[in-house]
């Protein structure tokens, strides 16, 4: 039996073909170029940098630096803008230490700093909106009569601050031998000095544990690692180095949620060395490898992705070679030797490098960037 093709049937087939083609086009747009478009739209912009004495803003990775904080007269050989430990909070403000105090800076006015309080160190609060300012008092006067390792030289106090400059009523005086260093999903983390050991040459090094503190910072509630050095901590993850390690793999990850340690994700070209950088969510850790390459460790998936560029030459500690800042899943790496600026998307493993080096002087810094 032969079926005749009527005009209505032909029209239906044409409409069906057009509908299928439209769906395929939409799917291709969502799964193909769309990913690049989304990545392009979320690329770091409004990048605030201290080039080594003058503050500038880059509208995007390849934009010419727009100087908003010129070098002050008489400061030709000094950087009056430099911050210790610069970092951007979730609130958007830039926080760092300058001239013995913790300061807050609005990215829209990066040449102006508001003094929040006296501090020798600081770290973000777990909510990402506030910060802890850390001050110290000599152990001789703050810990009279206590038998302590000789490497305990100070007693630390941590005060919680709003970025407006108003201190909260939360001020914690840690017990002697405990140094608060991070705020995590499970509370304050501290380095506890338990003894002294012979260091390199004739020096003495502190033997330290990494511990979680109680609400008063008076005692430890859990031990993360013993005879260890803290590399980074935020969210649910603590990155630490085993100071007794003589093997290749000495970097470990502690999961605060599961209360369990595991070796850092392994990389084909070698193990991680030195101090890396952990993103504010605690998802990705960027570090140098023994083979002088850089790698992105995905701590949630326990995977390692090695980067072809940039090289990690100079030091195993990432911050000794690069000025570093996170913007969402992007990590910005400014080579302080050459001025090369690279953006790495830790999620997609995409690397973008600035076409022309920045005119850096001495120890340049990246203060912040936006992806909104």
Given this model, what pLDDT does residue 361 score? 87
| Contact criterion met (CB below 8 Å) for 182 and 188 | yes
d(CA 81, CA 98): 8
Closest CA to 66 of 368, 358, 363, 364: 358
d(CA 267, CA 276): 15
Low-confidence ranges of the chain (pLDDT < 70): 1-41, 167, 200-202, 313-314
| Contact criterion met (CB below 8 Å) for 161 and 130 | yes
Sequence-separated (6 or more) residues with CB below 8 Å from residue 166: none
Given this model, what pLDDT does residue 28 score? 40
Q: Give the containing element (helix H, strand E) for 171.
A: strand 167-173
Given this model, what pLDDT does residue 202 score? 64
CB atoms inside a 10 Å sphere around CB 357: 14
Sequence-separated (6 or more) residues with CB below 8 Å from residue 253: 237, 238, 239, 261, 262, 263, 264, 265, 285, 299
Per the domain annotation, does 281 fall within a domain? yes
pLDDT of 87-139, one tens digit each? 999 989 999 999 999 999 999 999 999 999 999 999 999 999 999 999 999 99
Domain count, the chain: 1
Given this model, what pLDDT does residue 200 score? 64
Per the domain annotation, does 215 fall within a domain? no
Per the domain annotation, does 332 fall within a domain? yes
Block residue for tokens 């993360």: 224
CATH number at residue 292: 2.40.128
Given this model, what pLDDT does residue 26 score? 41
Given this model, what pLDDT does residue 123 score? 97
Using N-to-C axis directions, what is the helix angle for 7-31 and 33-41, rounded to 10°? 40
Q: Which two tokens stand for residue 91?
A: 């609130």
| Contact criterion met (CB below 8 Å) for 186 and 212 | yes
Given this model, what pLDDT does residue 225 score? 98
Per the domain annotation, does 26 fall within a domain? no
Sequence-separated (6 or more) residues with CB below 8 Å from residue 269: 289, 291, 293, 295, 306
Given this model, what pLDDT does residue 5 score? 44
Per the domain annotation, does 363 fall within a domain? yes
Given this model, what pLDDT does residue 16 score? 47
Q: Which two tokens stand for residue 49?
A: 């940098």
Using a 10 angstrom Cβ sphere, with 0-12 exposed, 13-18 middle and 19 or more buried, the burial of residue 203 is: exposed
Per the domain annotation, does 178 fall within a domain? no
Range of the domain at 348: 44-78+266-372
Per the domain annotation, does 370 fall within a domain? yes
Query: What are the b/e assignments for 126-149, b being 16+ CB within 10 Å?
Result: bebebbbbbbbeebeeebeeeeeb
DSSP string, 7-62: HHHHHHHHHHHHHHHHHHHHHHHHHTHHHHHHHHHTS-EEEEEE-SSSEEEESSTT
Given this model, what pLDDT does residue 34 score? 44
Query: What are the b/e assignments for 219-254, b being 16+ CB within 10 Å?
Result: ebeeebbebbbbbbbbbbbbbbbbbeeeeeebbbbb
Per the domain annotation, does 233 fall within a domain? no
Given this model, what pLDDT does residue 314 score? 66
């Amino acid at each position: 039996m032969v079926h005749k093709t009527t005009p209505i049937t032909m029209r239906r087939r044409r409409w069906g073909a057009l509908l299928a083609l439209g769906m395929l086009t939409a799917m291709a747009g969502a799964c193909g170029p769309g990913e690049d478009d989304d990545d392009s739209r979320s690329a770091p912009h409004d990048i605030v940098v201290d080039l080594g004495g003058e503050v500038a803003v880059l509208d995007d990775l390849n934009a010419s630096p727009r100087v908003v904080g010129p070098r002050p007269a008489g400061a030709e050989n000094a950087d009056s803008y430099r911050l210790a430990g610069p970092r951007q909070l979730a609130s958007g403000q830039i926080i760092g230490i300058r001239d013995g105090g913790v300061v807050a800076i609005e990215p829209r006015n990066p040449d102006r700093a508001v003094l929040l309080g006296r501090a020798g160190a600081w770290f973000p609060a777990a909510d990402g909106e506030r910060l802890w300012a850390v001050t110290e008092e000599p152990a001789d006067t703050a810990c009279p009569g206590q038998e302590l390792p000789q490497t305990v030289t100070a007693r630390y106090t941590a005060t919680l601050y709003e970025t407006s400059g108003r201190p909260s009523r939360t001020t914690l005086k840690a017990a002697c031998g405990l140094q608060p260093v991070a705020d995590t999903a499970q509370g304050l983390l501290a380095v506890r000095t338990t003894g002294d050991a012979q260091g390199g040459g004739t020096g003495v090094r502190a033997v330290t544990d990494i511990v979680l503190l109680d609400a008063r910072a008076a005692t430890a509630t859990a031990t993360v690692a013993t005879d260890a050095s803290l590399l980074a901590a935020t969210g649910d993850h603590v990155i630490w180095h085993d100071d007794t390690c003589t093997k290749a793999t000495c970097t470990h990850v502690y999961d605060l949620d599961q209360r369990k340690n595991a070796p850092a994700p392994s990389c084909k070209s070698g193990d991680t060395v030195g101090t890396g950088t952990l993103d504010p969510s605690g998802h990705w850790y960027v570090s140098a490898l023994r083979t002088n390459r850089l790698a992105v460790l995905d701590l949630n998936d326990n995977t390692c992705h090695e980067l072809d560029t940039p090289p990690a030459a100079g030091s195993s500690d990432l911050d000794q070679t690069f000025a570093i800042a996170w913007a969402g899943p992007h990590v910005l790496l400014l080579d302080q030797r050459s001025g090369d600026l690279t953006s790495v998307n830790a999620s997609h493993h995409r690397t973008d490098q600035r076409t022309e080096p920045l005119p850096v002087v001495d120890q340049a810094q990246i203060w912040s960037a936006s992806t909104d």
